[in-house]
Structure 1
Amino acid sequence: MAGPGPARTARSVALLCFLVSCAALVDSRGGASRPSRQDLDVGLGGGGVGIGIGIGGGSPSSPSPTPPSSQPQPCDFENERLYRAYLVIQQFRSTVTCDPMGVTQSWSGTDVCSYKGFFCERPPNVTDRAIASVDFNGYMLQAGSLRGFVDSLPDLALFHANSNDFGGAVPALGGLQYFYELDLSNNKLAPAAFPADVLGLTNATFVDIRFNSFYGELPAGVFCKLPRVQAIFVNNNRFSGALPDNIGQSPVNYLSLANNRFTGEIPRSIARNAGTLLEVLFLNNSLSGCLPHELGLLEKATVIDAGANRLTGTIPASFACLRKVEQLNLAGNLLYGEVPDALCRLAFSNLKNLTLSDNYFTSLGSCCWDLIKEGRLNVDRNCIQWAPNQRSHEDCAKFLRQPKSCPVNNYVPCRSKYQSSSEPADDAAAEYRYRTYSALHP
């Protein structure tokens, strides 16, 4: 069938304009109210114009029934705690802008404890289950902020979010009474000073904020306000300034300060960590001053890495007491003098790798030569006569002519005792079993 002709279309449009004008006239004279969008329904069809107008006077239409809500109700959940957690999770889900692994697809329904990345337990002295831990490690989720999410789960004890793209500031965690593990490593958190709210986590045992953009000085509270902390990883940020003098107050077992911009001396109070510190990384900063005698008092340490700094002086005799050390790196500093025979004898116990390259050592103890042959001692680019791959004579002479102010410390605070290790020497890949060295990788 042919469509409407031009004349018919013109008449239809004219009629429409006339009716609209009438409606406006009635309204202007204070008569019936102006028709709403629901009162005026105009449809243009292929066969003409259909017009329906209701202008006052008619019986009011009954209100449309409220459609049933599609959202779960509190009674649909195991308990009130999980219902409240559901609301928090759904709000956070709406802010996630990238989810390459489809993690958030599981965040629906009333079984909150089955959501991917969420784990439920019963809080102390509570019969109801609640969200106790969140583990987003490696999910690559992207969201502008974690505030209003982590800090709104009141029963949360652990939050691990390594290798995501979370931005914004660190959430305020002080109100979470059970919280003790925080991992925000390798994210896109807003550049800021050390998050002060973390210092209020008196139950914290694990604090990991590495691979972010935190800057400024490390507050002294890191070493005195976390009385239960076992691991502190702040490496690969932009922290600067001197290390706090009270570093020895901390009960920390694993401490990584590597790849920042710290300056000044290694605090001598570190001797007070002798009974607790197992691994410590000062690697790749701008630390200076004399290599402290107190490092040799860390009798339980298996890893001590102070490479790539500006430390100077001779190796203190106290280093002969590091009987449990397996990895000792002092490369890339300004150390000089003799590499003590007593230090190399640690290879008879647990020492697997001793790296002293890129310094200005001038001689070796007798046992040290054997370690070079075994590949367990690296003294490249020093000033040691007869050793391979050394600095030029001119380079060595220039350094050795400079005045030296560090005292020579020959005091050995332990009895000489060398015990053969029952463990075979590990190859270079073995460093990945050390927690602090593992922390150097995102």
Structure 2
Amino acid sequence: MAIKVIREFGKRITYDPQGITKTWRGNNICKDRSTYKGFICAEVRSKTRVVGVKFNGFNFNGRNEKLTFDNFIEDLKDLVIFHVNSNNFTGNIPSQINKNPHFYELDLSNNKLTGTFPMSVLNATNLTFLDLRFNNIVGLVPPQVFKLDLDVLFLNNNMFDGQIPDNLGSTPVLYLTLANNKFTGPIPKSIGQASNTLLEVLFLNNQLSGCLPYEIGLLRKATVFDASKNSLTGPIPHSFGCLVRMEEMNLSYNQFYGPVPEMLCKLMNLDQLALKFNYFTQVGPECRKLITKGVLDVSMNCILDLPSQRTPAECSTFFSQHGSCPDEWSLNYIPCKINHSITQDISDRAPRSAMRPSPSYAALIEPP
């Protein structure tokens, strides 16, 4: 059955620079590894079956530069994974993928998918990995996507717009990347509900606005947070001192102002704190130690006694026009008990030889 489906699909491929489809011959699909390249077999219900498609980097294309998934992905009944990044697939994802109870990884990144969010994906309720980055998908992200039991959700480098759904915090994902889209409005306060799951979250290079919700400080397991290159404003909430595992934080190229919280600068795992191109006015002694160590970058702000700052005219213009945050009280609210055993003087901390790779930042790099 799988051989028949594969051969029919192969007829639609008119561009195959690596000659992959030439190996789709004979009947030894699961016996001879030199045949049927791009397919993975395994034992399922006591029989050998085709369980995976891995076309990463094959650069397939079809007639008139159209290559769809129709009568392919849904006809391979035992699929567990479907990885086809860096090809030229177009069209929609068949809704029948929800009929396979074992289907749990879908990677469609770096293709030519257009239109709005593929709602058929929401039917695949057993997915744990969803990667739609580097396509041309437009419109709103449906709230239902944050109800999927995913570990990884990469939606970056598309043209999604509108506000991020309010139920963002319902997601159980570990790695969330919404960067390089056209999202507007605030970061949802519900983000704090994902305190037991989110490890890395990237909002960078959108059009987000408003003040940071203190609920971000509830992300006690988060190691990476990047909301740079937006239009966010207000002071940094003191709750950020609760981010005890934070290693990299980037809030650069926004409109933040006020003092940089000393509690944030005392977090012992912090390797990078980028706050450049904002309107901060004060840094205390702990933050100054981070500057000396090269951990904190506060260039192009409004800190009078530091070099490489904005001009007095720029700062004066900003402070004569900026508004205040609607929930001023929340900026001083600390939703945790600061444990001094998990903070220490930066001068006592040994430098790390190498930072661990970040899956979320890696997702911002287009596959070759």
How does the TM-score come out when normalised to structure 2?
0.92
Give 1:218 shift.
0.5
Give 1:140 shift.
1.5
Which gives a bigger RCO, structure 1 or 2 (Cα 8 Å, sep 6+)?
2
Amino acid at match of 1:128: K
Equivalent residue, structure 1, for 2:352? 425
Q: Secondary structure at the match of 1:288?
A: strand
Amino acid at match of 1:390: Q
Equivalent residue, structure 2, for 1:30? none
> How large is the Cα RMSD of the aligned pairs?
1.5
Q: Once the two structures are superposed, what CA deviation does each residue of 1:367-407 show, in whole Å capped at 9, x if it has no partner?
A: 11121121111111111112121111100000011242211
Q: Secondary structure at the match of 2:126?
A: coil
Q: Is the 8 A contact 1:311 1:335 kept in 2?
A: yes
Equivalent residue, structure 1, for 2:69? 146
Q: Once the two structures are superposed, what CA deviation does each residue of 1:251-304 show, in whole Å capped at 9, x if it has no partner?
A: 111100000000011110111000111000011100111111011110000011
Q: Secondary structure at the match of 2:26?
A: coil
Q: Is the 8 A contact 1:311 1:334 kept in 2?
A: yes
Equivalent residue, structure 1, for 2:137? 214
Amino acid at match of 1:425: R
Equivalent positions of 1:70-219 (< 5 A) are 84-113=1-30, 114=33, 115-123=36-44, 126-143=45-62, 144-172=67-95, 173-189=97-113, 191-219=114-142
Give 1:177 shift.
2.4
- Which segments of 5 or more consecutive residues in structure 2 lack a partner in the other structure? none
What is the distance in 1 between the residues matched to 2:70 and 2:108?
Answer: 13
Q: Is the 8 A contact 1:158 1:181 kept in 2?
A: yes
1:257 aligns with 2:178: yes
Q: Secondary structure at the match of 2:98?
A: coil
Give 1:424 shift.
3.5
Amino acid at match of 1:130: R
Amino acid at match of 1:198: V
Equivalent positions of 1:278-427 (< 5 A) are 278-346=199-267, 349-406=268-325, 407=328, 409-416=331-338, 417=340, 418-419=342-343, 424-425=351-352
Q: Secondary structure at the match of 2:166?
A: coil
Q: Once the two structures are superposed, what CA deviation does each residue of 1:337-385 show, in whole Å capped at 9, x if it has no partner?
A: 0011111111xx2111000011000110211112112111111111111
Amino acid at match of 2:262: D
Amino acid at match of 2:202: L
What is the distance in 2 between the residues matched to 1:207 and 1:291?
Answer: 27
**Percentage of pairs with the same residue:** 48
Give 1:415 shift.
2.2
Q: Secondary structure at the match of 2:169?
A: helix
What is the distance in 2 between the residues matched to 1:159 and 1:404?
Answer: 48
Give 1:426 shift.
5.6
Alignment CA distance shift 1:351-1:127 (3 Å): same
Q: Secondary structure at the match of 1:266?
A: coil
More off after superposition, 230-239 vs 165-174: 165-174
- Which segments of 5 or more consecutive residues in structure 1 lack a partner in the other structure? 1-83
Give 1:171 shift.
2.9
Q: Is the 8 A contact 1:120 1:133 kept in 2?
A: yes
Aligned residue pairs, count = 349
Equivalent residue, structure 1, for 2:156? 235
Alignment CA distance shift 1:423-1:147 (3 Å): farther
Alignment CA distance shift 1:404-1:353 (3 Å): same
Give 1:220 shift.
0.5
Q: Secondary structure at the match of 1:372?
A: helix
Amino acid at match of 2:334: V
